[in-house]
């Protein structure tokens, strides 16, 4: 109808794939924040990631401390999902207004 490819992409394609994109983003973020195999390769003596600390405390028999760290990790993951959901809703509401 005379619109350029950029206009079609931004006004038609992006609104259609936005929900799937953010859903994939949240899923990959949660998987990456709780991933242990890739994180072990990034650990240095100065920087210890929370998943490494959870395993270290569990290996030493400090299950209470390991559970506290696991709870913190779960809270961080849920908070991140909540923030991403708010951003998605805000973007969705802006599209409805326009």
Q: Check pLDDT > 70 for residue 96.
A: no
Q: Tell me the H-state helices in the chain.
A: 5-8, 14-33, 37-40, 50-59, 63-97
Averaged pLDDT, 5-33: 80
d(CA 51, CA 41): 12
Predicted confidence at residue 18, as pLDDT, reads 80
d(CA 63, CA 67): 6
Predicted confidence at residue 62, as pLDDT, reads 92
Mean pLDDT estimate for the chain: 80
Greater confidence, 68 or 51?
A: 68
Averaged pLDDT, 33-57: 73
User: For residue 32, what are the contacts with CB-CB under 8 A and spacing of at least 6?
Assistant: 38
Q: Check pLDDT > 70 for residue 78.
A: yes
């Amino acid at each position: 109808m005379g619109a350029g490819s950029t206009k079609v992409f931004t006004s038609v394609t992006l609104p259609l794939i936005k929900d799937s994109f953010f859903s994939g983003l949240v899923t990959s973020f949660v998987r990456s924040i709780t991933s242990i195999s890739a994180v072990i390769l990034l650990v240095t003596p100065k920087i210890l990631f929370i998943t490494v600390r959870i395993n270290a405390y569990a290996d030493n028999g400090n299950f209470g401390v390991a559970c506290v760290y696991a709870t913190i990790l779960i809270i961080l993951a849920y908070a991140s999902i909540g923030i991403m959901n708010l951003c998605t809703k805000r973007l969705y509401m802006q599209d409805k207004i326009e």
